[in-house]
Amino acid sequence: MKNKLLLLMCILVFTTGCKKDFLVQEPLASFSDQDFWTSEASVRAFAMGYYKERFPGFGVNDVGGVFSIRETLNDDYASVSLPGFPSQPTVSGGGWATYFSDIRKDNIFVDRVSGMGMKLGDSATYKHWVGIARFFRAMDYCDFVFDYGDVPYYNRPLTDYDTALFRPRDPATFVLDKVLEDYTYAAQNVKLDDPGTGPRGLVITRDVVDAFMSRQLLYAGTKLKYDPATSAADRVKAGVYLQAAKDAAARLISSGRYAVADNYQKLCSTIDIGATPAVNKEMILYRRYNTGEVTHAIASGNNVNTIQGNGAPKDLVDAYLCTNGMPIKTTAGVNPAYLGDQTAANQLANRDPRLTNTFRTDRFYLQYIETGYSVTGYKCYKFLDEPTQNEAYAVQSFNITDAPIIRFGEVLLNYIEAAAELADMGTYTVVQSDLDKTINVLRKRAGYTAASRLPDMKIIGNLPAVGATVYDDADRDPSVPSLIWEIRRERRLELVYEGFRENDLKRWRKINYYNTQLYPKKNLGAWITKSSVTKALILADINGNVTSPSNTATGSGYLKVSQTFRNATSGFVVDRNYLLCVPTYQIDFYGRNGSTLTQNPGW
């Protein structure tokens, strides 16, 4: 029977093949690209496909995202291995290929939605979805330029044989001008609310567009401003992008739709942000997590019994101001409010409340003494919902705390930094009201007690002050103006471990801060006195010089975390790392097709 059936099938194939080759015909029930773009529901489904990749939050299970230790190349962490930038050129793939794939998707989105017209119902809905598509393209191109500098710009989907496939790199400012055009359109046309897609905070709205516009154009403007290769004309462009960032942030500030959360620690450790008004009021966009749907592992890393192999260095802890609003040491001397660093109680007393909302204050969590130690002794708990830390969903990769994607606190910092950078360029003057509606708002969180709350930052003669007293941090980088230094401090401490530090140092042209030979406090931990229990630890003085080697049961000093430097000699901190390597295969591929793709400096 099987042989007869096979013979019959062969006869049918050959006889029908004489009339029509069915192997190259469209299936009778085929679904084409044209069939998809027919309604708002299909457009909405396509847009939702972006969320997981563009807004990863805490990632999924134990991978993804940039929060907590996911951004390991970070001078706010010390670790035994001290990871550095790539030391070898990229051959193929990498970020370059990913950006091209993402931007092709963006251009398809823009092209298809632009051609739908009244299929979307009305003009406002049509412009809303065109704005969403252009928003994603602006995001991707801004990141592409940040990572690679000059890049080929495409505003339409390409075919396999398109002559534009081997387009040379366009100047970064040309691409950023296009980014600004896309962002401007989106900011003017994306709706304030999109209930058909989801509630505010979980879907893209005009406020989300403005928030990301403030972030990304601040990045673009400052990176151009501080790049020594930037021309005078491009420096003017940097000012344009900074002004656009400031304006976008100003729109959100003046809207009155957002306020800072009451509790700083709960920003990154709330199980259900939507049901927690005291936290939700700061969230412009966040990602929800639910058991059985999507979970993560960020909170588990902050559990009291979890070892933290990446710990806060002394450099970070010392950056927190004292409750009198001054650094631990100014050019006038040691701050009298600072009680020293030789016990946890002293070091963490009288400090910015964000310090005690980020690190445990009861003791130093030392190896050989604590089950859940930190390699620096400073135990982070910023991402832990303590009341539920023993529940099944608080361990391993089952965590369900919601992740901030972009929040109002960051937007306040974007505004004041853009304003200060414009002032440094001579096109704006920072006044007290700028500080009062940004940094001083963050210092007045409702959850802070009056005794712990930092006093307002004042500005006197373009210098930071407390009350009528102008001050200058003794540890300030002399190349950074005092006011900008203090604004950067606020940004570092407000957003610590939320995935910003690496990009911030790149755009400020300050990746030399990663160099632990130049900045030894970035490789030191808490001050301890050794015993027979902790004798394996290595201690050093404030300059990183070993004072008590391993297996010595006596001596006092700072924990020395890594025994090797992260420096230029090791290849981990060099100027070429301000831009990524263009894959060498791509350069060769261009050449074999009669075009030229240039490499970034140093690679």
Q: Read out DSSP for 328-387?
A: SEETTEE-TT---SSSHHHHHTTB-HHHHTTB--SS---TTT-TT-BTTS--B-TT--GG
H/E/C letters for each residue in 53-110?
Answer: HHCCCCCECCECCCCHHHCCCCCCCECCCCCCCCCCCCCCCHHHHHHHHHHHHHHHHH
Does residue 46 have a pLDDT over 70? yes
What's the mean pLDDT in 313-340?
Answer: 97
Q: How confident is the model at residue 16, as a pLDDT?
A: 43
Model confidence at 50, pLDDT cuts 50, 70, 90, reads: very high
Which stretches of 520-564 are assigned E, i.e. beta strand?
Answer: 524-529, 539-540, 546-548, 556-560
For residue 542, which of 360, 318, 352, 323 has the smallest C-alpha distance?
318
Q: How confident is the model at residue 83, as a pLDDT?
A: 83
Does residue 18 have a pLDDT over 50? no
Does residue 358 have a pLDDT over 70? yes
Distance CA 103, CA 420 (A): 33
- Predicted TM-score (pTM) of this structure: 0.94
H/E/C letters for each residue in 174-227?
Answer: HHHHHHHHHHHHHHHHCCCCCCCCCCECCECCHHHHHHHHHHHHHHHHHHHHHC
Tens of pLDDT, residues 459-471: 999 999 999 999 9
Does residue 13 have a pLDDT over 90? no
Burial of 139 (0-12, 13-18, 19+ CB in 10 A): buried
Distance CA 78, CA 523 (A): 6
Burial of 167 (0-12, 13-18, 19+ CB in 10 A): middle
What's the mean pLDDT in 441-456?
Answer: 95
Residue 122 C-alpha from the chain's centroid:
36
Does residue 14 have a pLDDT over 50? no
Model confidence at 567, pLDDT cuts 50, 70, 90, reads: confident
Domain spans in the chain, listed from the N-terminal domain onward: 297-401+518-569
Tens of pLDDT, residues 167-222: 999 999 999 999 999 999 999 999 999 999 999 999 999 999 999 999 999 999 99
Tens of pLDDT, residues 116-172: 988 998 999 999 999 999 999 999 999 999 999 999 999 999 988 898 999 999 999
User: Lowest-confidence range among 80-94, 110-124, 237-251, 283-297?
Assistant: 80-94
Half-sphere exposure of 310 (CA within 13 A, CB side): 17
What's the mean pLDDT in 399-424?
Answer: 98
Q: How confident is the model at residue 73, as a pLDDT?
A: 87
Rg of the chain (C-alpha set)? 27
Distance CA 529, CA 508 (A): 38
Does residue 325 have a pLDDT over 80? yes
Mean pLDDT value across the chain: 93
Q: How confident is the model at residue 201, as a pLDDT?
A: 98
CB 554 within 8 A of CB 528: no
Does residue 22 have a pLDDT over 60? no
As a whole-number percent, the residues of the chain with pLDDT over 70 amount to 94
CB 399 within 8 A of CB 300: yes
Q: How confident is the model at residue 30, as a pLDDT?
A: 55
Residue with tokens 């909170």, as numbered in its chain: 299
Q: How confident is the model at residue 29, as a pLDDT?
A: 53
The answer to whether the Cα torsion of 219, 221, 226, 231 is positive or negative is: positive
